[in-house]
Amino acid sequence: MPKLLVVSLNYKTPEMTLKSVRAALTALQGMDADLVVVDNDSGDGSFEQISQVVADEGLPVRVIQSGHNGGFGAGNNVGIQAGMADGARPDYVYILNSDAFPAPDAIRLLADHLDTHPEAGFVGSYIHGPEGEPHVTAFRFPSVWSELEGSARFGPISRALGEWVVPLGVPEQTQKVDWLAGASLMMRMDVLDQIGLFDETFFLYFEETDLCLRAARAGFETHYVRESHVAHIGSVSTGMKRWTRIPAFWLDSRWHYFSKNYGRAYAAMATLAHGLGGALWRLRMVVQRKTPADPPHFLRDLLVHDFKAVMRPLPGKRQAVRGMRPRTALEASVE
- Whether pLDDT at 328 is above 60: no
In a domain, 115, yes or no: yes
- Whether pLDDT at 335 is above 90: no
- Residue 66 contacts residue 78 (beta carbons within 8 Å): yes
Q: How many CA atoms lie within 13 A of 235 on its CB side?
A: 7
- Whether pLDDT at 206 is above 80: yes
What's the pLDDT at 152? Answer: 97
Per-residue model confidence as pLDDT tens digits over 110-152? 999 999 999 999 999 999 999 999 999 999 999 999 999 999 9
Number of other CB atoms surrounding residue 147 within 10 Å = 24
Average pLDDT over residues 154-176: 97
List Cα–Cα distances, 162 to 114, 120, 275, in angstroms.
30, 25, 19
- How would residue 327 be classed by pLDDT, with cut points 50, 70 and 90? very low
List all residues 6 or more positions away from 286 whose beta carbon is below 8 Å from its beta carbon. Answer: none
CATH number at residue 71: 3.90.550.10
In a domain, 36, yes or no: yes
pTM: 0.91
In a domain, 55, yes or no: yes
List all residues 6 or more positions away from 163 whose beta carbon is below 8 Å from its beta carbon. Answer: none
What's the pLDDT at 244? Answer: 79
In a domain, 7, yes or no: yes
Average pLDDT over residues 76-105: 97
Q: Maximum Cα–Cα distance for the chain, whole Å?
A: 65
Per-residue model confidence as pLDDT tens digits over 27-57? 999 999 999 999 999 999 999 999 999 999 9
Give just the sign of the alpha carbon dihedral 296, 297, 299, 303. Answer: negative
In a domain, 102, yes or no: yes
- How would residue 333 be classed by pLDDT, with cut points 50, 70 and 90? very low
List all residues 6 or more positions away from 264 whose beta carbon is below 8 Å from its beta carbon. Answer: 310, 314
For residue 264, which of 295, 297, 308 has the smallest C-alpha distance? Answer: 308
What's the pLDDT at 314? Answer: 80
- Residue 251 contacts residue 302 (beta carbons within 8 Å): yes
In a domain, 47, yes or no: yes
In a domain, 153, yes or no: yes
Residue 19's domain comprises 3-242+320-333
- Residue 177 contacts residue 220 (beta carbons within 8 Å): no
What's the pLDDT at 113? Answer: 98
* Rounded Cα distance, 169 and 163, in Å: 13
Report which residue type is found at 33.
A
The chain-wide mean pLDDT, for the chain, equals 92
* Rounded Cα distance, 237 and 18, in Å: 14
Q: What are phi and psi of 268, to 5 degrees?
A: -65, -40
Average pLDDT over residues 254-263: 98
- Residue 79 contacts residue 187 (beta carbons within 8 Å): no
What's the pLDDT at 200? Answer: 97
- Whether pLDDT at 332 is above 90: no
Per-residue model confidence as pLDDT tens digits over 264-322? 999 999 999 999 999 999 999 999 999 999 999 999 999 999 999 999 988 764 444 44
Q: How many domains does the chain have?
A: 1
* Rounded Cα distance, 228 and 225, in Å: 6
In a domain, 165, yes or no: yes
